[in-house]
Structure formats: structure tokens, C-alpha cells
Amino acid sequence: MKLKKLPPEYEKAIPVLNKLEQAGFQAYFVGGSVRDILLKQEIHDVDIATSAFPEEVKQLFPRTIDIGIEHGTVLVLVNEEQYEITTFRTESAYQDYRRPDHVEFVRSLEEDLKRRDFTINAFALKEDGQIIDFFDGLSDLKRQILRAVGNPKERFHEDALRMMRGIRFVSQLGFKLEQETAIAIQENHPLLEKISVERINVEFIKMLLGKERSVGIKTFVETQCYIYCPGLREYGEALLRFSDLPNESLKTESQAWTLLIDQLALQENQVRFFLKQWKCSNQMIKEVQLLVFGLNRRKKRLLDAQTLYHLGKEAALKVEELMFYFGEMPQLKKVAQQYDRLPIKSMGELAIDGKMLLTESGKKPGKWISEALQLAEEAVVAAKVVNKSDELFVYLKQNNTF
């Protein structure tokens, strides 16, 4: 197969391939971006594989960075662009199911592509548009089949994360696992115990955000990979219920976690521990806790002023978007208008502050200040009192705050 036209990102990189070839080496575009071109999807990275060894690459290009030279990868800087150039290589046995004991550089493209995970990721592309396909990946792409390169058991023993990657591709592409590949995942899923949570997290979230999330989650459960993911061992049935929700793609990671937590029926005080197990950042945990709080209230009724104020506009809209999965049409315009009509959007907009309270009351500083400000804040948001200092002082005095 030969492409008539390369995407602009590849055309810009052709001089890099030409320079390697003029020096007597082979050079090809490789990796997931070649697959994405064939699927007419947006490409994100331009990766190059070559028969040139790392030191030979560095001699050809004046500006390079050793980003993984022990594995054959050199970052080449050309004008404003940068390209990862990796030497063809074979790999030894994998003792930890994550990394090869050692890497051996070779001059053969086919030997290099043999170590790829799936056939649809094992293409090479020449600068003239010619597709190199040693493993019948084009046929698998056409049939929408995800098949491991060579022996699937060997591929998954080399890097057990490939099982999660396979399920992620099922979710993202809507492809079906080839039978032997599916069986190999079912038989070897306990190897995921050897993989860091951080690496599993990346693939898991991509799976949840996939356009075919439903089939991805079902495959995740059927292969029993969920058993070796943090906090999910007892939730096979809940995950299947999750897969039965409308298959519309989720927009953000925080919404994906929120909907998952809802389907697992976790309590709000369990959210932090669950996400900590997944090694999520504190920022992500804080955002998800906020969305879970909002969703629990929105499922019962439209968000009131206090909840909108607590959530903030962005989080409130994210919560409202999730109502689609519960059979309701999200009322995004209404929520935005309700939020915009709030008298204040933050404590900083309150017409009084602690210093003014001290002056007005003549009292000594103490906990009563924060309590009074909170009472005033809630009253203004609920439209019980106008956000003016004199009226707020009257309101607080009536409520025996000072």
C-alpha cells in the first residue's frame, strides 16, 4: 500500500529521513502515528526508526539530546522541531515483565518491528508514502481486529502493560481482540501485579475516555484485568453496570473518575483513599471530590445557589454534563445563567471583611470572625440579605454574631 500524500507533520520531517539515507542508513516513520494516518485520525508524534546506531545518528545531526540512548533513542533538534530517532533493536528476556535485561542494536527493520505490541502498531512508512507491513496489520486494520505481533503470550510477558494497552485500544478504536490475543490476556492478567500503578493509571483513563468505552470496560472485566487494578477487585458487577451507561465519550479525566466512583457507589469520604490508591495527583483528587459532591446533589434535584457557589461555574457545568448518563438532557445554559446570577462568586467579593468586623464590634479577634463571615457569605448567596456592609452588620447583629 502506498499513501498518495503524507500529513504536514511527516512532510516536515522528510529531510531528517533523507539525511540518514544519504549517509547509507535506512530510516522510516514508525509507531502509532502511522496507524492514525491510516485511520484518518489526528497525529501527535512523529517517531523515526533507523538502522543507524545512536553514535552514528549523533554524528549526522549537530543538535541532539540523549533521552534514552541506552535503549537506542536520540532526540534530534531540527529548526523548531524535535524528533525521537530510535535505532532498530532486539530485546533480551524480560525478568520483571516491564523492561528487557538488555537491548541489542540491529540493522534489520523486520527484527525491530517484531518486538512491537500489536500488528496495527507495527507499520513502517517510507518518505514516498510506501507502507511496510510485515505482520498483516493492514488486514487487521481493515477488519478492525487487535492482534498481538507474533506470540501474544511472549508479547505480554515482555511488558505486561500491553494487556491494558490492548483493552485501551479496544475502547479508543472500537476494535475487537483477536481470539488468541484475548485468550493470552485472560491467562496472563495476573502479570499486571508486576506493573506500577502509575503506568496502569495512564492506560485505564484512556480506556475510560475512549469513544467505545462500553466495549472497553466489558473487555476489561471479561479478561479479569480489573482484579489487579487498585480498589476494583470486588467491583466486577459494578463495572459491567458502568459499561451499560450511554456510550457517549466522556470529556475529561475528572468526569471519568466521578462517573466511575458513582457507579461503584463509593461514599464521599471514600473518594480520596480510592484515588490515592490510583496515585492520582492531589489536584485531581480535589477536583473529583468536588464533582462527586455536586453529582450526588444534582441527581436528587437541580443545584441550589449554595451548591453552585461551592462548586464554581466550571465544576457545576461538568456535573451537569454528567446528567446525560442518567437519562437527563444537561441544562448547561440554565446552570450557567443561575451561576452568573449569584450575588457573589467568592468570599473576596463580600462587602465586609475581618478588619471591618473588629472595628464595628469592638470585640477582640477570635474564631467568631470566621464564623460571622461564613454566616454573611451564606446569607448573601441565598439572597437573604443584600451584599452591603451596613445591611450585613444588621443581619449579623440580629443573629447574635456580635
Residue 159 labelled as part of a binding site: yes
Q: Domain 144-247: which CATH class?
A: mainly alpha
Q: Which of 71, 159, 176 is nearest to 120 (CA)?
A: 176
Which residue intervals of 246-362 are DSSP H helices? 253-264, 271-277, 282-298, 305-311, 313-322, 332-340, 354-361
DSSP letter, residue 351 = S
All residues at 6 or more sequence positions from 131 whose CB lies less than 8 Å from its CB, including other chains: 1, 2, 3, 34, 38, 123, 124, 125, 138
What CATH architecture is 250-342? Up-down Bundle (1.20)
Residue 45 labelled as part of a binding site: yes
pLDDT value at residue 401:
81
Residue 89 labelled as part of a binding site: no
CATH number corresponding to 1-140: 3.30.460.10
Task: Tell me the whole-structure pTM to 2 decimals.
Answer: 0.90
Residue 244 labelled as part of a binding site: no
Residues 73 and 54: their CA atoms lie apart, in Å, by 7
Residues 380 and 351: their CA atoms lie apart, in Å, by 10
Residues 57 and 63: their CA atoms lie apart, in Å, by 10
Cell of 162: 500491553
Secondary structure element (H or E) that encloses residue 87, with its range: strand 81-87
Render each residue's pLDDT in the chain as its tens digit; 402 residues: 899 999 999 999 999 999 999 999 999 999 899 999 999 998 888 999 999 999 999 999 999 999 888 889 999 999 889 999 999 998 655 555 566 556 789 999 999 999 899 999 999 999 999 999 999 999 999 999 999 999 999 999 999 999 999 999 999 999 999 999 999 999 999 999 999 999 999 999 999 999 999 999 999 999 999 999 999 999 999 999 999 999 999 999 999 999 999 999 999 999 999 999 999 999 999 999 999 999 999 999 999 999 999 999 999 999 999 999 999 999 999 999 999 999 999 999 999 999 999 999 989 999 999 999 999 999 999 999 999 999 999 999 998 887
Write out the E strands in 3-80. 27-30, 47-50, 64-68, 73-78
Residue 32 labelled as part of a binding site: yes
C-alpha separations of 273 from 128, 190, 196, 267, 311 in Å: 53, 23, 18, 11, 21
Residue 47 labelled as part of a binding site: yes
Q: Which CATH number fits domain 349-399: 3.90.930, 1.10.246, 1.10.357, 3.40.50?
A: 1.10.246
Domain boundary assignment for the chain: 1-140, 144-247, 250-342, 349-399
Residue 147 labelled as part of a binding site: no
**What's the half-sphere exposure (Cβ side, CA atoms, 13 Å) at 352?**
29
pLDDT value at residue 100:
56
pLDDT value at residue 141:
97
Q: Which of 91, 103, 109 is nearest to 20 (CA)?
A: 109
Residues 48 and 32: their CA atoms lie apart, in Å, by 11
